[in-house]
Amino acid sequence: MRFTLYVAPLLVALCGAAQATPSPDSALLKVEGAITQPNYQQLALWDSAMLDQLPEYEIKTHTPWYDEEKTFRGPRLSDLLAKVGASGKLLTITALNDYSVQVPTSDARQYEVILARSIDGKPLSVRDKGPLFLIYPFDQYPELRNKLYYGRAIWQISQIKVE
C-alpha cells in the first residue's frame, strides 16, 4: 500500500512529462541556440497544446498585407523566450519555406510583439500566413511603420534560433 502511494504519483508525473514533449515531426515550432530549458535534446519543441498554455494577447493594427485593421491573437514572444530560458540578443526566425529574418530580442520586450495564432478570431492556417505570424503593434508605435519592421514581421514561422 505504501509503495503504491509513493510510486503512483511518480508514474503519473513521468507519463505526463513524456506526453508534454512533441516529437520533432509534430512540433509547430522549434527553438534552439542559447536556451537553458530544452525539452528534446538541445531543442525546445512546441506544439499547439503547449502554446495554448501561454497567456494570449491581442494586437489590433493595420499591416501592409491587409486592407483594413485586423485583430491578431497569440502569445507574446517574450513569454516564449522566458519559458525556454533564452539568453541571446538576436533571433533568427525561419519560415516553413526556409526564408529567415533577424530580430533583436529587445523587440520582444520593447514592443510586446506576439506570435499570432489567429486573425479576427479565426485560426491562422498556412494559407493565411500561419500557423505563427510575428506581429508588431504597428498602429501603437508610429516608428514601426517602415520596411525594417515590416520585414521582421515574418509569417509561417517554424523555427527560432537564439544567438
Shortest CA distance to 154 belongs to which of 103, 87, 110? Answer: 103
**107 against 21, higher pLDDT:** 107
Main-chain phi, psi angles of 145, to 5 degrees: -85, 70
Shortest CA distance to 53 belongs to which of 137, 149, 117? Answer: 117
What pTM does this model have?
A: 0.86
Q: Which residues of 14-42 are buried (b: 16+ CB within 10 A; e: fewer)?
A: eeeeeeebbeeeebbbbbbbbbeeebeee
pLDDT higher than threshold 70 for residue 18: no
**86 against 7, higher pLDDT:** 86
pLDDT higher than threshold 60 for residue 13: no
Can you give the pLDDT at residue 20? Answer: 61
Q: What is the rounded average pLDDT for all residues in the chain?
A: 91
26: confidence class by pLDDT, cuts 50, 70, 90: confident
25: confidence class by pLDDT, cuts 50, 70, 90: confident
pLDDT higher than threshold 50 for residue 5: no
Percent of the chain with pLDDT over 90: 84
The tens digit of pLDDT for each residue in 75-128 reads: 999 999 999 999 999 999 999 999 999 999 999 999 999 999 999 999 999 999
Domains of the chain by range and CATH? 24-162 (3.90.420.10)
**25 against 16, higher pLDDT:** 25
pLDDT higher than threshold 70 for residue 19: no
